[in-house]
Amino acid sequence: MTIKSLQTRAIAPLGILLCFGIIMLACSGDSPSGPGDMADINTYMSSLPAWDEFCPPVTDADTATGETVENLDMGQGLFCHTTPCSITETPEQVVTYGTFSNILWLGGLIQGDTYAGGVGSMEELPIRQRAPLTIGVNLLHGDSVSTVVQNPDAASVGQATSNLIAIAMNSGYQAGSSIYFTQKEMYSLEQAMLSLGLSANYLGTEVRNKLDITAVKKKNTLTAYFKQFMFETYIVQPQTPSEMFSSAFTSDRLEEQVNLGNIGPDNLPVYVSRIQWGRIMLLTMSSDSSYTDMRNALKATHSSFSVDMTAKYQHILSTSEMEVVTFGGDDNDALALIRSGNIESYFTQSPDLSTAFPIAYALNNLADNSPAKVGETTEYEVKECTQITTAYYKDWNQWRDAFSVIQDSSDNKFFETNAANIYKSDEVDWVPGSNSHLATNILTFAPANTGYDFTFYLKTLQDGCPYPLTFNDTEFSGATNLLSIGDVDNCQYDAFEIGVYDFLNDSYVFAVGIYVGDNGVSSDEKLEIFYHDRKIEEIPYSQMPSGGLSFMGIVSTVPITKIKFTEGYDGDDIFVKDFCFGVAYRR
C-alpha cells in the first residue's frame, strides 16, 4: 500500500496497514524551534483565552421546556401528547464514523473554531513544520509500546501506529476487550446521539439518513450504542506549545497563521491527544412494543446482560423496523445477528489487534493541554401516543378491573349521592330532604368541597323543565339517595350529561360510571363519550341499561371530559345515583 493510500484511508483496518514488521525510525529530522522562536510561540499561546473561556462548559440536562399539548387523531386512532424538550450534553470524545479521517490523526492540529462551532466541519491547522512526536499504544491489560516519529504527518504517524501494532502482535500481546452498551429513547437523531453521549454533528450525511427512522409510523423508537474498546493510541503531551513545532516554524510563520485567521483568540489550536480503537455499532429500532420490551429484547442478544431470549423478544427483534451502522464490521451482518438474537458473536472476546478501527478521538487545547470539550444543546419533542380504545361496562367490578389499561398511576373515586354530598354542590345551599326539587338543572362539585383533583358536574338537557332535578323522588320505590332526571310524570326527555374539568396535579379522568334506574330502552337512545369537543365513542341503544338499578361505565385510553346520555321520548322516568370516576396522574 502506498503512502498516498495511507493518507486517504487512515481508517482502514490495522491489518491492511501492517506494511513493515519493525519500527522505522528516521535518523534525522528538524529539531524543535529555536530559543527565541520558542519563547515567542509560548508567549503568544499563553495570551490566548483558556478553553473554558473560549467554549464555556455547560450543565448537562434533559428537561421539558414548555407545556404538554394533547392531540386526538381519530384518523390514525391515536391519542398523543407532545412535550417540547431540550437536552444539553458534553460528549467526552469525538466519534466521527469515518468523516474527517484525513485530519484526525494522532498529534494532528485542528482549528478550534471549526471544532467548537457545532456544525460538524472540522478543519486542520495547516502547520507542516512539526517536531518529532512520541506516540504509543496502550493495551487494556497494561502493556504498552511506543516510538518516535521524526516528521509527523497523517501518513508517517499512521505507518508508525501500524508498526507498533505489528511489534505488539509479534510479541504475543493481545488486545483486551471492554464491551460498552447503552440504549435510550429516540425522539430525534440529534437528541438520541446526545443522550448516548455522542454528537450527531460528525455522523456524515449517509449515516444520518440511515439512522434517522423517526418518521417510521411506529409507537416507540430506541437508539442503542455498542462499543468494543480494544486499545488506545496516544502522544506524549508537550510540556510547552512550542515543543510541537520544529525550528522551521518561526515567529514569522506563526504570524502568518494568525493573519490567515487559523490561530487567534476566536480560533484556539487543538490537537488529537488520544484515539480509542475497536468496533462500534449504532442501531435505531422502531416498534409498537413497549420501551421496556424493546430494551430487554436488545439485551437478550448478548449473554452479559442476563436476559433470556424469549419468543416474545425474538418476535420483537424480527419484526421491528431497524437500521444498523457499524464501524469495524459489516452493517448487514450485524443486523442479521441482531435479528437472530446473537450479537455476541459479532463482538468477540479476544479480537485480533489488526481488526481494530479508530472509533473515538480526544482533543486537547494546545496552550495548556487541557481537554477541549464542546457542549451541545438540541431542542426536540417527546411525542407519546396511545391507541384509542374505549370499553363499556355494566358491572362496577369489571369496570374497576379495567383500570389496568392505563399506564399512569390511577385511583378510584366513588361519590355517593346522599343529602350531605348534594349539599356540597355549588348550586344547593341546604341539605335536601326527600322529594326535594333542587331548582337547578346542573350540580357542580368543586375540589374544595370534594377533595378531588378535578371539578365534575351533572346536567339535565331538557329545556324549560320546571323540575329538572329532584332528590329522592318518592314516586320511585326501592332505591334511595337518588337524583330524578326531571320529575316522575313530568319532563319526559330525561337526557343528561356528566362532565369533568379544571384538573389539578397533572390529573385526568379516564373512566366515568353511574348507576341508572327505571330506564326503558328505545332505538333513539345512545351514550356518547367526549374528549373536549371530540366524540371518541358512541354506545348504541342495544347496550343501554333497562329496568331496575343498573351500572353504566366507560373506561378509555383517552382522557374523558364528558359523557352524554340521550334518552328517548318514550314516557319512562329515570333516575341516577352515585358518581364513579377513574382518575390518573401523568408520570
Q: Are 75 and 179 contained in the same domain?
A: yes
**Which one-letter amino acid corresponds to residue 291?**
Y
Among the listed ranges 61-65, 184-188, 352-356, 532-536, which one has the minimum average pLDDT value?
352-356
pLDDT at 372 over 80: yes
Strand partners, 509: 583
Query: Confidence class of residue 175 from pLDDT cuts 50, 70 and 90?
Result: low
Q: Are 9 and 131 contained in the same domain?
A: yes
The closest of 495, 494, 487, 489 to 467, measured between CA atoms, is 487
First and final CA of the chain: distance in angstroms? 59
pLDDT at 109 over 90: yes
Distance CA 275, CA 137 (A): 10
Query: Measured between alpha carbons, how far is residue 460 from residues 153, 457, 494, 553 in Å?
Result: 85, 10, 7, 18
Computed from CA positions of residues 256, 257, 259, 260, in that sequence, does the dihedral angle turn out positive or negative?
Answer: positive
Average pLDDT score over residue span 53-65: 93
Q: What is the pLDDT of residues 406-442, one digit of tens each?
A: 877 789 999 999 999 999 999 999 999 999 999 999 9
Q: Are 120 and 244 contained in the same domain?
A: yes
Strand partners, 501: 455
The pLDDT value given to residue 237: 95
Mean pLDDT: which of 32-41, 173-182, 260-269, 318-327 is highest?
Answer: 260-269
Q: Which three cell numbers stand for residue 342?
A: 446473537
Cβ atoms of residues 115 and 270 within 8 Å: yes
Q: Which three cell numbers stand for residue 175?
A: 488486545
- CB-count burial class (<10 Å; 0-12, 13-18, 19+) for 414: exposed
Distance CA 209, CA 220 (A): 19
The pLDDT value given to residue 548: 82
Number of domains making up the chain:
2
pLDDT at 120 over 80: no
Query: Confidence class of residue 545 from pLDDT cuts 50, 70 and 90?
Result: confident
The closest of 274, 235, 268 to 366, measured between CA atoms, is 268
Mean pLDDT: which of 117-126, 216-225, 386-395 is highest?
Answer: 386-395
Of residues 205 and 53, more confidence is placed in 53
Of residues 520 and 516, more confidence is placed in 516
Looking up cell 418476535 gives 315
Q: Which three cell numbers stand for residue 131?
A: 517536531
Distance CA 435, CA 416 (A): 17
The pLDDT value given to residue 8: 28
Neighbouring C-beta atoms of residue 556, cutoff 10 Å: 26
3-state secondary structure of 290: coil
Distance CA 487, CA 435 (A): 9
Share of the chain above pLDDT 70, in %: 89
Strand partners, 278: 229, 357
Distance CA 394, CA 539 (A): 12
Q: From the CA atom positions of the chain, what is the Rg in Å?
A: 36
Average pLDDT score over residue span 230-239: 94
Q: Which of 384, 404, 424 is the last residue of a domain?
A: 384
Any idea what the CATH number is for the domain that residue 133 is in?
A: 3.90.840.10
pLDDT at 128 over 80: yes
3-state secondary structure of 238: coil
Phi, psi at 3, each rounded to 5°: -60, -40
pLDDT at 18 over 50: no
Of residues 361 and 201, more confidence is placed in 361
Q: Which three cell numbers stand for residue 83?
A: 412535550
Distance CA 475, CA 451 (A): 33
Q: Which of 384, 413, 448 is the last residue of a domain?
A: 384
Q: What is the pLDDT of residues 262-321, one digit of tens each?
A: 999 999 999 999 999 988 889 899 998 888 999 999 999 888 788 899 999 999 999 998
The pLDDT value given to residue 119: 53
**Orientation angle between helical segments 251-259 and 35-47, nearest 10 degrees:** 30
The pLDDT value given to residue 95: 84
Any idea what the CATH number is for the domain that residue 499 is in?
A: 2.60.120
pLDDT at 20 over 80: no
Cβ atoms of residues 278 and 359 within 8 Å: yes
Q: Which of 384, 399, 427 is the last residue of a domain?
A: 384
The pLDDT value given to residue 6: 26
Q: Which domain holds residue 347?
A: 3-384
What's the distance, CA 514 to chain centroid? Answer: 40
pLDDT at 489 over 80: no
Average pLDDT score over residue span 14-41: 46
Sequence-ordered list of residues with C-beta below 8 angstroms from that of 215, at least 6 positions apart, any chain: none
Q: What is the pLDDT of residues 132-143, one digit of tens each?
A: 999 999 887 777
pLDDT at 23 over 90: no
Query: Measured between alpha carbons, how far is residue 275 from residues 40, 227, 235, 242, 365 in Å?
Result: 30, 14, 9, 22, 16
The pLDDT value given to residue 118: 58
In this structure, what DSSP letter does residue 414 have? E
For 492, half-sphere exposure in the C-beta direction (CA atoms, 13 angstrom radius) is 7
Mean pLDDT: which of 156-165, 379-388, 450-459 is highest?
Answer: 450-459
Compute the C-alpha angle 208/212/217, nearest 5°. 165
Q: Are 370 and 393 contained in the same domain?
A: no
Q: Are 170 and 267 contained in the same domain?
A: yes
Sequence-ordered list of residues with C-beta below 8 angstroms from that of 460, at least 6 positions apart, any chain: 441, 442, 468, 469, 485, 486, 491, 494, 495, 496
What's the distance, CA 407 to chain centroid? Answer: 18
Q: Are 364 and 400 contained in the same domain?
A: no
Q: Are 165 and 307 contained in the same domain?
A: yes
Of residues 391 and 330, more confidence is placed in 391
The pLDDT value given to residue 62: 94
Q: Are 273 and 409 contained in the same domain?
A: no
Q: Are 67 and 10 contained in the same domain?
A: yes
Q: Are 286 and 378 contained in the same domain?
A: yes
Phi, psi at 219, each rounded to 5°: -70, -45
Q: Are 578 and 484 contained in the same domain?
A: yes
The pLDDT value given to residue 422: 97
Distance CA 86, CA 378 (A): 6
pLDDT at 213 over 90: no
The pLDDT value given to residue 10: 33
Neighbouring C-beta atoms of residue 310, cutoff 10 Å: 14
Distance CA 125, CA 274 (A): 18
pLDDT at 356 over 50: yes
Cβ atoms of residues 144 and 232 within 8 Å: no
Distance CA 210, CA 283 (A): 10
Q: Which three cell numbers stand for residue 261?
A: 485567521
Distance CA 544, CA 242 (A): 88
**Which one-letter amino acid corresponds to residue 429?**
D
Among the listed ranges 85-94, 171-180, 330-339, 397-406, which one has the minimum average pLDDT value?
171-180
Computed from CA positions of residues 414, 417, 423, 428, in that sequence, does the dihedral angle turn out positive or negative?
Answer: positive
Q: What is the pLDDT of residues 73-97, one digit of tens each?
A: 888 888 888 999 999 999 988 887 7
Q: Are 356 and 396 contained in the same domain?
A: no
